[in-house]
Amino acid sequence: MLKANFITPQEAVSMIRDGDTVCTIGMTLVSASETVLKAIEKSFLETGKPNHLTLLHSCGQSDRKDGIQHFAHEGLVTRIIGSHWGLQPKWMAMISENKAEAYCLPQGQIAQLYGAMARGLPGKLSKVGLGTFVDPRLEGGKMNSRTASLEDLVEVVPFQGEEYLFYKSIPIDVCLIRGTACDEMGNLTTDEEAMKLEVLPAVMATKRFGGKVIAQVKQVAQTGTLDPKKVTVPGVFIDGVVICENPLEEHRQTSSWYFDPSYSGQLRVPQTKIAPLPLTVRKLIGRRAIEELEQGNVVNLGTGIPNDVIGNVCNEEGISDDIMITVESGIYGGVQAGGVDFGIGRNLYAMITHQEQMDYYNGAGVDVTYMGFGELDSEGNVNSTKMGSRCTGAGGFIDITQNAKKVVFCGTFTASGGEYRIENGGLRIVKEGNIRKMVQKVGQVSFNGAIARQKTQKVYIVTERAVFQLIPEGVLLTEIAPGIDLKNQILELMDFTPIISPGLKLMNEKLFYQPPFGMCFKEEIL
């Protein structure tokens, strides 16, 4: 009988050679192979090995403390290729300080690249990333000066009279995955994971290049006792299995919960137990943002205000079953967790794999996406990826916004230090933020306004005090909050002058009172 190769964390580390490309699978701390990641870090700090690795990951994989933060040591990793580091302060510092070569590619493109590599292809074609910092005619996804002169991982290619980006294959030497259990053959399940992710394509891509797959599991089952339909990775593709001896700390379902069956679809909790959020400026932005919904919309939520607020507001307004909320991780419905637990949700209706979700977002395009923003300029360009030296990266932002039928950017009008009061049916600015977000030219193009206007994409920017719309002529101011002075609190805090709508109106006064505000869907215009 075939037998799995059960190994210690130290033996797993010995399978990694100096200079290897190591692919890690996970999102936030979900499915992080924490035992193995810690062992790699410990080995490097004590022995200097392994070293000069290339770290490849599609999603951000940390909770500001663990995950691939264990790799953030100069010399351990020479090159990082990923999508998002917003929850990885050590990696943002490493990138900013030129202590590693750093490439930022769209999250969905990396997840789908695994499948292309698994099929023996040299890479994949996509329009995702054209006109953004990923485009080699702008920055080529190179996130610091150390990387600027290095080779491009993306090329612009013509095909059938149109431009595409070609994302080149990245050969994988070692792939680190995690499962709930495996049997004595190594057949691996992910029943208790809060996401399906892109585990199998990454494994297949690794095997295509003759690489090694290392799996961390919580339990071992007798061969033949696992439901074959629930096996995520057949054991023949796994070279070593590490049994986690400290699952409470190193095999958590997510950062905040060791295990909650409502996040893995094994239990539904009463919806009434989901507490509403207090009425803050973040919630105010979310309330105004959902006024852009039409009944039956399929919705995507990005990180920050969208994911932290909008699902909760929809539940509070009683419209959760009239739309379908999705997240890039592959979840459908339910109420989403936020912050360091981004990408998971309670009471889901469906869960598909990460790369399949990106197929949908890249192809048909979601009806409405809600995304955060850092800067907006007069051309309608948005920067959500790099603010000065702070390099958060794109995550799924580019994949989703370039193809969504409607994009609603959500954020405060200014950043850093703002204080607000919602009272008497209006908004009062107690203290203005220290950083302007409405700039003459964005520091990095994460969303290309010219391309959006060319495609006649519906684009809105919702803040606590003003609402803008992207039109062919530029950025149009359409609404202001009650209690806000147009000249002093909007126009004089912008580095460009927006087009002011002749029908400029006040935001819905009901938004500024305690919930619910009585959400009414937009009427579809045929």
Active site residues: 328
Full DSSP string of 111-147: HHHHHHHHTT-SEEEESTTTTSTTSTTTTTTB-SHHH
Contact between 369 and 401 under an 8 Å Cβ cutoff? The reply is yes
Of the candidates 68, 67, 89, the one whose C-alpha atom is nearest the C-alpha of residue 77 is 68
Question: What tokens does 41 get?
Answer: 């870090």
Report CA-CA distances (Å) from 12 to 17, 110, 355, 483. 11, 25, 27, 61
Contact between 490 and 463 under an 8 Å Cβ cutoff? The reply is no
d(CA 468, CA 85): 29
R_g (Cα) of the chain, nearest Å: 23
Of the candidates 212, 223, 219, the one whose C-alpha atom is nearest the C-alpha of residue 191 is 219
Per DSSP, what are the bridge partners of residue 215? 177, 241
Contact between 205 and 118 under an 8 Å Cβ cutoff? The reply is yes
Of the candidates 426, 405, 400, the one whose C-alpha atom is nearest the C-alpha of residue 481 is 426
Give the contacts of 91 (CB within 8 A, at least 6 positions apart). Answer: 62, 68, 69, 72, 80, 85
How many other C-beta atoms can be found within 10 angstroms of the C-beta atom of residue 272?
Answer: 7
Of the candidates 159, 204, 216, 196, the one whose C-alpha atom is nearest the C-alpha of residue 34 is 216
CA 440 distance to own-chain centroid = 27
Q: Which residue has the tokens 């105010």?
A: 284
Coil, strand or helix: which one is 386? Answer: strand
DSSP E strands, 231-338:
231-233, 240-243, 298-301, 324-327, 331-332, 335-336
Tally of CA atoms within 13 A in the half-sphere of 103 that contains its CB: 27
Helices 107-118 + 354-362 axis angle, to 10 = 110
